[in-house]
Amino acid sequence: VKSEGPKLVPFFKATCVYFVLWLPTSSPSWFSALIKCLPIFCLWVFLLAHGINFLVSHRSASRILAGLIFSAVGDAFLIWQEQGYFIHGLLMFAITHILYSSAFGMKPLDLKAGLLMGLVSSSCYAFLYSYLSGPFTYLVAVYIALIGFMGWRAVAGVQLCNDLWTWTKLSACIGAMLFMVSDLTIALNEFCFPVPYSRFIIMATYYAAQMLIALSAVESRDEEDFRKRS
């Protein structure tokens, strides 16, 4: 907290700016896109503050940074979702989940966690299916599979029973779960029925998720420092 907390101050300030201004979604503009993306830009700075050499030498950190870049582009597209850019935003976030899954890696495998996430993802899609039509029937299925896979890889990294977990792995796990809550709320609100306070729920869980996933990128730095002290 002492070492990473100060680097996150700009992110918290930018998030406060977004919620204080609360620009209307009915009048999309480049300014509203900037305000919405600003917290994610601050997370770019947070990772870059660890040094270019760190990002180059640790693939997981560089992939999370790439995921944050695609997330910002997706956020910008969703500002104009009523103008037909919803699918573009969906594609950008699908790429984000692929990058995050790659960053979390395939070890440990933890098939039980994979089965659980598969059941959760299948249940969500089964509920949404009757509300979907046209290309969204397939696009939402692929997207849910990708975010479910990302959630599996994040959960699998937390081996609580074996005492092999770290605070950064736990951060990735909680972040992935919050990302799923945010996207499920979007899906319910977009395709099914109006969700009360949907915008607040979506953005609060989304920003928290991105922050926690960005924090998980410093896992490699923690291991490196531990080896040096040993």
What is the structure's pLDDT at 167? Answer: 86
Question: pTM higher than 0.75, yes or no?
Answer: yes
User: Digits of tens for pLDDT over the chain (230 positions)?
Assistant: 677 889 999 999 999 999 999 999 998 999 999 999 999 999 999 999 999 999 999 999 999 999 999 999 999 999 999 999 999 999 999 999 999 999 999 999 999 999 999 999 999 999 999 999 999 999 999 999 999 999 999 999 887 666 566 888 999 999 999 999 999 999 999 999 999 999 999 999 999 999 999 999 986 544 444 344 44
Residue 164: the pLDDT is: 60
Residues belonging to the chain = 230
Which two three-digit tokens encode residue 34? 């900037």
pLDDT at 4: 87
The structural domain count of the chain equals 1
| Structure confidence at residue 227 (pLDDT) | 40
pLDDT value of position 225: 46
Enclosing domain of residue 23: 4-228
